[in-house]
Structure 1
């Protein structure tokens, strides 16, 4: 890369986008304005001299017709005054045949070559008596050339005035192009500037509640920058929701962990003075400590699982639901021997497969079964039904109160009736998160005849 290219690339990197856009727009418009002015100058200059050349050609033709037998030398005029008749002279190809009187018009080797037929007729500009003039040289008879000249003051003055006028127009055009480029960059990049300011404000304050103001307009006709701002607002909304959820999770987790950690510290301090305890007291404290450690470990594991927003894609595979449900029900029977579990699989669901992570789907089913068994009175069944479109887990317990129904899937939420039962209030929240990660929908409702019913609507 040359030094000029490196310098240009460094300039582009160091200049803001608005400046670069203004310079590019101004340069494009200025280039067009200068091009138009140059083209207009060339056309006007060509037309002015074309008219003068036609007069010279007509004068040369008249001389050739009227003075066919004229001798070499000056024929007419001196061209001292503007508008005077054309001055003309005849020049032989051989310099030895020149007349004794000097020529009025300049004679060169090209003139001799035109006279001898070696060179085509031509036009030339020269100065005569201190004034601009234009001359036409063409062949005349055998071995002679005729030169015709006219004062070119008008054409020369017209060309000069045209150059001055178009230069002024071009300068004004460049100035207007600079102003237009600045206006275009300022207007066109205004949404981008607002987007940048919002992003910088969020980075400085770490507050995702800011939004970019969108210009009013009919939907479906937004420009690219407006669509970008809309997408950025959507991203900010998702970020705000995620940040709020994380803060709520941390706050809830710190609140829920405070009590078991306090109990753990109390039992640990009690066991530190084991020499003062009886064997029964020491065993009771050790058992409580072990149970609390298990509960805290389970809660931490649940929090880690809830912190995952989606399932890892490399672990997805085709999962047969019927065997997975049967295995989960068998495991629940071992954990809850006092609760009978029934399972019913529709004929068209026996070979049902869905893409997912088997371990995560098993965890979802286990959470639903544990929740149903926890609220079921001893001896009342928990019914599991699998169809082509849904998996349903129903218990015959006290059910869900209408005021608790909107919150059963919230983290750490525990209904008043469930606060005395073991658990952290994370199982159903985790089950819904796993369901959403697999494209399914988990809902809760009061079951007909009493109890609660959880329905997992499978993805189609």
Structure 2
């Protein structure tokens, strides 16, 4: 049974609707718990005070009864103090026998009431006992104890003071209990409001995001909440982290759409221009018509490649059913052979150690192809592109190095950004998506792709697969 299921019967008994807000339910449960504790403490205090006062009366009766029993060992049945008739003394005593009748109030022989229990004590068939009586409008505490010779001693003392003390204590504790209930209600409301403050802010933030569709909002947490985080504070902090990730994702999508629209605008304009030229092919010379057709085909291939790259970048992760063990050394060797065919003027050297990683072969081949094309594009004619694959104890590392102009310091933090092109690359063909796609593929395979500026010039890209 969950905590909510266990609290449901209590809430129903307290008259709280099932669909009441969480703050109301928490306040009611907290208030009820504190109120029960306060009332329980007051009730226990009342019982203790009453027990202690009665015990003091009983102790006083016992001590006086022992003294009287020693002094009046041979006293016949009847009252021991004449003053008891008029209750001018604080205590009254009388001796009864098994044959003594109940004649209280009919004469002066007996003052205290005699019952069957009293005669049973005189007979010796019942032990001593305490009782409360009312005599002529006065409340008294009486002890009936056996004496020698089949007699019983009845000793009563007035209990007005003790009874008034018990009543006053009861009234005071009742007032304290009522104040405790009110205090419990206030504390329950305060506790629910304080405990659910981050939840209230979380709800307000979520509603504000829903209304504005802006994930830049955050839940404000005080310094005290950050110093002493509880479960709700950690929930609010996790919600802020989620909002940060959502904001980055939305911003990345917006940048991708903006950059894609910007990059597609130029080739689409060129396509439309060449298409319009070919529509008037009868007015063009054969050479102009062939040149326009060739340009149209080239631009169609560029747009197709750009669209395919955008589709690849839109994928956040690799399909798990396609992941399999891949001999990376063989895949790299195959990629190098393909690159030699695409870039015949660039020599490729490879030093490959046998190693296996888990991934999607086609995607890893695309990653390698992008790195090799980027290295060959910036390498001067005849300058080698060097590949090295090593298998260490903690990772498998592939490095691709060229001997071109290298990466400028201001460009190094942006080489993997989408559509980013350095000043050296603006005169070269490409859309600026190759390295961005390579890093995305690497991250989808739990690998890390970094760019470095090695000594001696050129650029070095390092792909690291952790063994875990």
The SS at the match of 2:153 is: strand
User: What is aligned with 1:180?
Assistant: 187
Q: Distance in 2 between matches of 1:151 and 1:342?
A: 116
User: What is aligned with 1:27?
Assistant: 32
TM-score, normalised via structure 1 length: 0.83
**Aligned residues, how many?**
456
User: What is aligned with 1:244?
Assistant: 251
Superposed, which structure 2 residues align to 1:224-235 within 5 Å? Answer: 224-235=231-242
User: What is aligned with 2:431?
Assistant: 424
Deviation at 1:157, TM superposition (A): 1.0
User: What is aligned with 1:118?
Assistant: 125
Q: Distance in 2 between matches of 1:299 and 1:125?
A: 104
From 49, 53, 56, give the equivalent of 1:51. Answer: 56
Superposed, which structure 2 residues align to 1:165-176 within 5 Å? Answer: 165-176=172-183
* Residue 306 (1) aligns with residue 306 (2): no
Deviation at 1:190, TM superposition (A): 3.3
Q: Is the 8 A contact 1:80 1:129 kept in 2?
A: no
Q: Is the 8 A contact 1:78 1:104 kept in 2?
A: no
The SS at the match of 2:219 is: coil
Deviations 1:410-448 (A, max 9, x none): 111233444454432211101122223334433334566
Distance 1:457 1:135, change over 3 A: same
Deviation at 1:166, TM superposition (A): 1.6
User: What is aligned with 1:203?
Assistant: 210
Deviations 1:97-126 (A, max 9, x none): 999957432232322332233322211112
Q: Distance in 1 between matches of 2:17 and 2:451?
A: 59
Deviates more, 1:131-140 or 1:402-411: 402-411
Q: Distance in 2 between matches of 1:54 and 1:10?
A: 48
TM-score, normalised via structure 2 length: 0.81
The SS at the match of 1:105 is: coil
Deviates more, 1:300-309 or 1:362-371: 300-309
The SS at the match of 1:14 is: coil
The SS at the match of 2:133 is: strand
Q: Distance in 1 between matches of 2:225 and 2:90?
A: 73
Q: Distance in 2 between matches of 1:415 and 1:45?
A: 92
From 382, 387, 390, give the equivalent of 1:384. Answer: 387
The SS at the match of 2:439 is: helix
Distance 1:323 1:77, change over 3 A: farther
Superposed, which structure 2 residues align to 1:22-101 within 5 Å? Answer: 22-77=27-82, 79=84, 84-94=89-99
Q: Distance in 2 between matches of 1:76 and 1:158?
A: 28
Distance 1:390 1:108, change over 3 A: same
* Residue 361 (1) aligns with residue 364 (2): yes
| Unmatched tracts of structure 2, length 5 or more | none
Deviation at 1:156, TM superposition (A): 1.0
Deviates more, 1:198-207 or 1:212-221: 212-221
Deviation at 1:325, TM superposition (A): 0.7
Q: Is the 8 A contact 2:407 2:458 kept in 1?
A: yes
From 375, 391, 394, give the equivalent of 1:372. Answer: 375
Distance 1:4 1:397, change over 3 A: closer
Q: Distance in 2 between matches of 1:370 and 1:97?
A: 124
Q: Distance in 2 between matches of 1:324 and 1:234?
A: 38
Deviations 1:68-108 (A, max 9, x none): 34443444346476771422333333468999957432232
Distance 1:317 1:83, change over 3 A: farther
Q: Distance in 2 between matches of 1:48 and 1:382?
A: 102
Two-structure CA RMSD over aligned residues (Å) = 3.8
Q: Distance in 1 between matches of 2:14 and 2:404?
A: 73
The SS at the match of 1:387 is: strand
Superposed, which structure 2 residues align to 1:130-141 within 5 Å? Answer: 130-141=137-148
Q: Distance in 2 between matches of 1:137 and 1:333?
A: 121
The SS at the match of 1:330 is: helix
* Residue 351 (1) aligns with residue 354 (2): yes
